[in-house]
Amino acid sequence: MKPRLNAYQVAPDTIKALMTLETAVQGSGLEKSLIELVKTRASQINGCAFCINMHTQDARKQGETEQRLYLLNAWREAPVYTDRERAAWHGPRR
């Protein structure tokens, strides 16, 4: 699967900013599996097949299960996510 464009060539300053953000996220203390779930969910919302493929592979490397990856698009109904995980892509329960 190929990316749609080479972002490093098209927008090098944007990529630099994203790498700075990535460094901050990785140093945040959040579990790497949760970070990958959030990235996967964002990629689903954005409709980017390349990114979904990349982040689901990374999530599996962090120990994420197939079931939880398959159900991520229906996270509101799926009982396999914790309240903390749900808050990561929706915000706190009201």
Where residue 73 sits, what CATH number does that domain have?
1.20.1290.10
Could you write out the DSSP letters of every residue in 23-81? HHHHTS---HHHHHHHHHHHHHHHT-HHHHHHHHHHHHHTT--HHHHHHGGGTTT-TTS
- Any domain includes 11: no
In a domain, 84, yes or no: yes
User: Looking at the predicted structure, is the pLDDT value of residue 90 above 80?
Assistant: no
Task: Decide: 80 and 68 in contact? Cβ < 8 Å.
Answer: yes
- Would you say residue 9 lies in a domain? no
Residue 24 lies in a domain: no
Structural domain range at position 83:
31-94
- Of the candidates 86, 62, 64, the one whose C-alpha atom is nearest the C-alpha of residue 74 is 86
Look at residue 92 and tell me if it is in a domain: yes
Decide if 78 is inside a domain: yes
Number of domains in the chain: 1
pLDDT (tens digit, 9 = 90+) per residue, 24-48?
Answer: 999 999 999 999 999 999 999 999 8
pTM for this predicted structure? 0.81
54 in any annotated domain = yes
pLDDT of 78 higher than 70:
yes
